[in-house]
Amino acid sequence: MAQTDLLDELAQWIPPERLLRQPAQLVPYESDALTAFRSRPAAVLLAATQEEVVQAVRFCHRAAIPFVARGSGTSLSGGSLPVQDGLVIALNRLNRILHLDPAQRIAVVEPGVINLAVSRAAAPYGLYYAPDPSSQQICTIGGNVAFNSGGAHCLKYGMTANHVLGLKVVLPDGEVVELGGASLEGVGPDWTGFFVGSEGLFGIALEITLRLLPKPALYRTVLAAYDSLEAAGDAVASIVAAGLLPGAMEIMDALAIEAAEAAVQAGYPRDAAALLIVELEGEPRQVEAEFAQLLQVVDRSHPRTLSVAKDDADRARIWKGRKSAFSAVGRLSPDYLVQDGVVPRSKLGAALAAIEQMSRRHALRVANVFHAGDGNLHPLILYDGRVDGELERAETLAGEILQLCIELGGSITGEHGVGVEKRQYMAALFAETDLAVMAELRRALDPGELANRGKMFPDGEAPALRAQGPHPLERLGLLSRE
């Protein structure tokens, strides 16, 4: 079946307002949050039901047409970049919380449900959903599953994989399967864990069974300012070495502080080189005992200032600045790349010092915002795509940071995924045999490599970050970069 025939067949049972085919309709779907990559699909299906998703996948399998599932498009690795002339299956309208059982502490949701909506629905029962990416107000559970998202509190509570109990999935050939279930005690192979983090290569999740947790009875949130990033990184290593397990540990550098203050007025000290946010949570007796120990450890790290959130409103203020940091950096630069490497906690200080040196050498500013608890760096490399050569310099710097992470014993990604952005570094992280086994597993489920084709594997020449010229909306005079 030709591509046109497939689209005509889809048009027979999908209303035209939900099967987008005109160039102007496709422009918003040409990229995700990594806007340096753009690719135009043949069509976008705004799926309204699970059955529509299943039928679309079966049509693609029959016609050998590649497809990409997309939620809110917040991927920072090009993970939901369309395949040229393929089909985008948009899942935002599959946004129902199908079942919430406070006794079993589970929620069954569709892939288009917003992350934060789960916690809001569970709040009346004293429960919440632990993984909290910075984009949790807009990112979807389906995308979290695809990339095994973490968030600020992943140090204590783990990643998405630690909170997904079961999945209903449509495989790339259109078969619908059930993986896992509602129990914490799995039996047999961990197929759920196998699927989570597969970046859309194994199919599309239709229903996700999530584990909910009781809301902590008490929080203690500490904000420490330092004269250097290295000192803040070393403080994190000291906290963990002391045997403490905070709910979250986050670091922001001077540029990130500047951006957050301009955006949300979080009340951060503007003259600090780095901020460390440490949050303890749990039962009151335990938290108070750990809090006393935490203050001693932090004090020994010689912060320039040290403060403690006075109440819930003060705690919310501190976190609002951190949660807004990524988007706020857009105030400082017309473009930026976000990296996602990981280093051992003991190497945080060395990694941050090295990134500062790289930034000076390439004459590009870098704003550092990251999950310090698990060593997940998020350096934001600021550049101006309108200046010849700046994007290429930013790409070179991003690559050097990833190579640094590998050399320090870490990884090229903690939660953003490989997507198209990092696939050229897979061979530096994994042996040839490892990559061959991964590819064999992928082809066992998807021989035609239709599901999210071109992502993750370094087959052939890897796509570099290249300026694609003015954004289509700029060409139409509808977007200004000034």
CATH number where 405 lies: 3.40.462.10
The pTM assigned to this predicted structure is 0.89
Q: Which residue spans within 227-378 are E strands per DSSP?
A: 248-253, 274-282, 305-308, 335-338, 366-371
Residues 120-129, mean pLDDT to the nearest whole number: 98
Percent of the chain at pLDDT exceeding 70: 94
On whether residue 475 sits in a domain, the answer given is no
On whether residue 428 sits in a domain, the answer given is no
User: What does the pLDDT read at residue 481?
Assistant: 39
User: What does the pLDDT read at residue 471?
Assistant: 41
14 lies in the same domain as 142: no
Structure tokens at 152: 């600020």
Residues 244-257, mean pLDDT to the nearest whole number: 92
Contact 68, 81 (CB under 8 A): yes
User: What does the pLDDT read at residue 470?
Assistant: 42
| Distance (Å, whole) CA 367 – CA 274 | 10
CATH of residue 37's domain is: 3.30.43.10
405 lies in the same domain as 337: yes
End of a domain among 70, 92, 114? 92
Answer whether residue 408 shows pLDDT above 60: yes
Residue range of the domain that includes 178: 104-214
74 lies in the same domain as 112: no
169 lies in the same domain as 111: yes
Confidence category of residue 2, pLDDT binned at 50, 70, 90: low
On whether residue 173 sits in a domain, the answer given is yes
User: What does the pLDDT read at residue 460?
Assistant: 45
149 lies in the same domain as 245: no
457: closest CA among 417, 397, 403, 415?
Answer: 417
On whether residue 311 sits in a domain, the answer given is yes
Q: Which range (101-110, 329-338, 375-384) has the least confidence? A: 329-338
Answer whether residue 152 shows pLDDT above 60: yes
Residues 342-348, mean pLDDT to the nearest whole number: 87
85: closest CA among 7, 171, 24?
Answer: 7
On whether residue 184 sits in a domain, the answer given is yes
CATH of residue 204's domain is: 3.30.465.10
* pLDDT digit string, tens, across residues 155-186: 899 999 999 999 999 999 999 999 999 888 87
Residues 207-225, mean pLDDT to the nearest whole number: 96
Confidence category of residue 348, pLDDT binned at 50, 70, 90: confident
Report the residue count for the chain.
482
Q: What number of other Cβ atoms are within 10 A of residue 224's Cβ?
A: 26
On whether residue 459 sits in a domain, the answer given is no
Answer whether residue 406 shows pLDDT above 70: yes
DSSP three-state, residue 399: helix
292 lies in the same domain as 403: yes
Answer whether residue 478 shows pLDDT above 70: no
End of a domain among 214, 230, 262? 214
Contact 297, 244 (CB under 8 A): yes
User: What does the pLDDT read at residue 229?
Assistant: 84
User: What does the pLDDT read at residue 3?
Assistant: 64
278 lies in the same domain as 397: yes
DSSP three-state, residue 438: helix
Structure tokens at 193: 């864990």
Residues 419-434, mean pLDDT to the nearest whole number: 92
On whether residue 125 sits in a domain, the answer given is yes
194 lies in the same domain as 309: no
| Distance (Å, whole) CA 34 – CA 335 | 10
Which H helix or E strand runs over 363?
A: none
Answer whether residue 354 shows pLDDT above 50: yes
How many domains, the chain?
Answer: 3
* pLDDT digit string, tens, across residues 284-332: 999 999 999 999 999 999 999 999 999 999 999 999 888 888 778 888 8
167 lies in the same domain as 290: no
User: What does the pLDDT read at residue 265?
Assistant: 85
End of a domain among 214, 245, 277? 214
Q: How far is CA 152 from CA 131, 136, 189, 246, 376, in A?
A: 8, 11, 29, 11, 10
* pLDDT digit string, tens, across residues 51-99: 999 999 999 999 999 999 999 999 989 999 999 889 999 999 999 999 9
304 lies in the same domain as 226: yes
19: number of CA atoms within 13 Å, CB side?
Answer: 14
On whether residue 37 sits in a domain, the answer given is yes
Contact 324, 260 (CB under 8 A): yes
User: What does the pLDDT read at residue 175?
Assistant: 97
251 lies in the same domain as 363: yes
199 lies in the same domain as 295: no
